């Protein structure tokens, strides 16, 4: 079905297709006459439109509101094509000169693509059946003369347009590459500057660069979001940074200035931040002129008067009983924490919207990091005060089942989601909202877990039996000591950083509590992912060293 911007014109089109076919040419002439009268900046009454096309005045009860001129032009072009297709007019019935797309393009000195684009500007084409029985779009002389008269400047500019040669396209790509080497900036900025230099349209330059990127993905200039792709030099800088090198050492290795290294690292960090999605619950107070003073600088509510600490269930392990040492929040404390938490995220989201990764400063990046870090502090306080809620609900659902800790962990995830979606301004407590969220999640996941346990219990038992038969564990302290000794020897084959990461991540040989990959990354000045890669490489070396020892133990 044809799409009309005005439903009134669409209704008129339906009525006209039901009229006798002999009226079709006069109706098309009326459409052409009306197009010669319409000013896109004005509005026109439906009565005038109907009378000009049909010669009849509509009934008073059928006179809709006026139609904007710009929408009317597009609908009239659609109407002419619609009516001619329905009537299946032949070229002999037109009784006036006409031209096809190709012929009109040659006459006006433009491309056929330009002719098709002009149809949305008011160039009327109708469908006619040629002698070979094929229907084609043609343009009558009166339609072309009227369009040229109304859009003379547009037609002259189109005739003066010359398509880019392959050499000119290559020059544009080289110029854009040179601009990016001097100053990394977005595609829209590069297109505007090159357009002003070459006299070409901005869209032409943008399209040329986009086509280059599509056909040369390995040598592309811009990513899909319009930002420049990572150059080979910047990629090398990031790799050396992940390996723990300082900016000065990287500059000496790569052969560039220290400021260039810092710029690449800052852009990489800003890009990661700009891709971060920060969700918050909005409150009108956030847009107050003195919001910082009312929210962040205001004193926190006093804690509730000391009440009797609830006694945790006896069958809970020590680390779950410790949750009951954290006092609950009063309603005022809870609202205050959520207000601060969401306001900090609101400020961070606003900064991220305005952040340009290519021109970001260290101060802008640091401010956003600080806002998100402070928001995380308030979130941890909210979580700590509500973790016992998850434990109490989990005990009601599964009691002391073997998978109790899995259920608690699943409930913690539901609690985190509830904290993100909770609106403190509605007057409810988080415990009420989170309880429903946790129980709704348990109602779905706990029965599924029970089903899987019943369904696959036999297979699990057989797997354990097979594992026990084929891989017996050491049976004496002597054998265990042999494993420890072999492990210590294998660690000696690692370099210092690999050995430190393995021993401290797993807490081996009295190195204290196990450390996370993130903690180790901060110690060595690399990312968490880089620590994981180093650990994987080290474990591979250990496996090769321990393979003969493990074979001897299993043989015994």
375-406: pLDDT as tens digits: 999 999 999 999 989 888 888 766 555 577 78
Q: What is the pLDDT of residues 187-218, one digit of tens each?
A: 999 999 998 888 888 888 998 999 999 998 88
pLDDT score, position 470: 45
Q: Same domain for 412 and 315?
A: yes
Please, which residues bridge with residue 138 across strands?
Answer: 100, 126
Q: Same domain for 153 and 225?
A: no
Is 467 inside any structural domain?
no
Among the listed ranges 28-42, 423-437, 530-544, which one has the minimum average pLDDT value?
Answer: 530-544
Q: Same domain for 213 and 172?
A: yes
Q: Same domain for 108 and 148?
A: yes
- The residue that leads in pLDDT, 203 or 421, is 421
Among the listed ranges 18-32, 334-348, 356-370, 433-447, which one has the minimum average pLDDT value?
Answer: 433-447
Q: Same domain for 294 and 439?
A: yes
Structural domains in the chain (count):
4
Q: Same domain for 342 and 429?
A: yes
pLDDT score, position 297: 93
Q: In the predicted model, is pLDDT for residue 462 greater than 60?
A: no
Is 251 inside any structural domain?
no
User: Which among 192, 213, 229 is the end of a domain?
Assistant: 229
User: Which among 108, 134, 160 is the end of a domain?
Assistant: 160
Q: Same domain for 99 and 126?
A: yes
Q: Same domain for 123 and 175?
A: no
Q: Same domain for 224 and 331?
A: no
Is 465 inside any structural domain?
no
Q: Same domain for 438 and 551?
A: no
Is 257 inside any structural domain?
no
Q: Same domain for 443 and 485?
A: no
- The residue that leads in pLDDT, 169 or 479, is 169
pLDDT score, position 549: 55
Q: What is the pLDDT of residues 437-458, one digit of tens each?
A: 888 888 777 665 554 555 544 4
Buried b (16+ CB within 10 A) or exposed e, 456-492: eeeeeeeeeeeeeeeeeeeeeeeeeebeeebbeebbe
d(CA 134, CA 448): 62
pLDDT score, position 542: 80
pLDDT score, position 351: 93
The enclosing domain of 404 has a CATH number of 1.20.120.1810
Is 267 inside any structural domain?
no
User: Which among 139, 160, 181 is the end of a domain?
Assistant: 160
pLDDT score, position 475: 47
Range of the domain at 44: 7-160
Is 337 inside any structural domain?
yes
Q: Same domain for 90 and 12?
A: yes
Q: In the predicted model, is pLDDT for residue 33 greater than 80?
A: yes
**Tokens at residue 496, please?**
């210092």
The residue-averaged pLDDT of 356-372 equals 91
Is 152 inside any structural domain?
yes
Distance between start and end Cα atoms, the chain: 81
d(CA 278, CA 437): 21
Q: In the predicted model, is pLDDT for residue 168 greater than 70?
A: yes
pLDDT score, position 547: 62
Sheet bearing 98-100, strands edge to edge:
98-100, 135-140, 126-129
pLDDT score, position 32: 93
Percentage above 90 pLDDT, the chain = 39
Q: What is the pLDDT of residues 68-117, one digit of tens each?
A: 999 999 999 999 999 999 999 999 998 889 999 899 988 988 888 889 88
d(CA 172, CA 164): 10
Phi, psi at 546, each rounded to 5° = -85, -10
Report the mean per-residue pLDDT for the chain: 84
Q: What is the pLDDT of residues 221-231, one digit of tens each?
A: 998 888 898 88
pLDDT score, position 175: 93
Is 269 inside any structural domain?
no
Q: What is the pLDDT of residues 500-553, one digit of tens each?
A: 888 888 877 666 677 888 888 777 777 888 888 888 888 888 877 766 655 554
């Amino acid at each position: 079905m044809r799409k009309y911007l005005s439903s009134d014109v669409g209704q008129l089109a339906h009525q006209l297709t039901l009229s006798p076919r002999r009226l079709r040419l006069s109706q098309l002439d009326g459409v052409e006459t009306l197009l010669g009268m319409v000013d896109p900046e004005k509005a026109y009454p439906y009565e005038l439109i109907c009378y000009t096309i049909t010669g009849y005045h509509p009934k008073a009860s059928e006179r809709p509101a006026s139609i904007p001129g710009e929408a009317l032009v597009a609908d009239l072009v659609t109407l002419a094509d619609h009516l001619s297709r329905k009537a299946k007019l032949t070229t002999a019935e037109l009784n006036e000169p006409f031209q096809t797309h190709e012929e009109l393009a040659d006459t006006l000195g433009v491309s056929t693509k330009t002719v098709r684009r002009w149809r949305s500007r008011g160039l009327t084409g109708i469908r006619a059946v040629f002698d070979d029985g094929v229907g084609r779009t043609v343009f009558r002389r009166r339609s072309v003369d009227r369009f040229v008269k109304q859009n003379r400047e547009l037609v002259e500019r189109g005739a003066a347009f010359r398509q880019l040669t392959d050499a000119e396209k290559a020059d544009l790509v080289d110029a854009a590459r040179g601009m990016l080497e001097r100053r990394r900036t977005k595609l829209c900025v590069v297109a505007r500057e090159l357009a002003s230099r070459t006299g070409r349209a901005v869209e032409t330059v943008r399209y040329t660069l986009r086509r280059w990127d599509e056909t040369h993905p390995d040598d592309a200039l811009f990513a899909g979001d319009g930002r420049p792709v990572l150059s080979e030099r910047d990629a090398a800088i990031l790799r050396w940074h992940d390996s723990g090198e300082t900016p000065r050492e990287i500059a000496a290795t790569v052969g560039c200035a220290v400021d260039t290294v810092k710029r690449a690292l800052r852009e990489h960090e800003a890009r990661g931040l700009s891709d971060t999605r920060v969700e918050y619950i909005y409150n009108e107070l956030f847009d107050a002129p003195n919001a910082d003073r009312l929210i962040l600088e205001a004193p926190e509510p006093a804690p509730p008067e000391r009440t009797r600490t609830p006694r945790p269930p006896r069958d809970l392990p020590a680390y779950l009983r410790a949750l009951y040492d954290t006092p609950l929040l009063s309603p005022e404390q809870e609202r205050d924490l959520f207000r601060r938490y969401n306001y900090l995220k609101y400020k961070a989201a606003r900064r991220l919207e305005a952040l340009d990764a290519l021109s970001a400063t260290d101060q802008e990046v640091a401010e956003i990091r600080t806002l998100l870090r402070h928001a995380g502090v308030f979130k941890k306080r909210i979580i700590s005060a509500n973790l016992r809620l998850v434990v109490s609900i989990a005990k009601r659902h599964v009691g002391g089942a073997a998978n109790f800790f899995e259920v608690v962990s699943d409930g913690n995830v539901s609690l985190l989601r509830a904290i993100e979606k909770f609106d403190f301004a509605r007057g409810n407590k988080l415990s009420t909202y989170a309880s429903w969220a946790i129980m709704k999640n348990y109602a779905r996941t706990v029965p599924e877990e029970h089903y899987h346990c019943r369904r696959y219990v036999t297979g699990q038992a057989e797997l354990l039996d097979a594992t026990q038969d084929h891989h017996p564990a050491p049976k004496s302290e002597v054998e265990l000591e042999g494993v420890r000794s072999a492990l210590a020897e294998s660690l000696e084959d690692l370099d210092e950083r690999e050995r430190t990461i393995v021993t401290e991540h797993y807490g081996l040989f009295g190195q204290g509590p196990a450390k996370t990959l993130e903690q180790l990354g901060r110690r060595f000045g690399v990312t968490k992912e880089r620590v994981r890669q180093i650990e994987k490489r080290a474990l591979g070396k250990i496996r090769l060293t321990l393979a003969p020892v493990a074979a001897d133990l299993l043989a015994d």
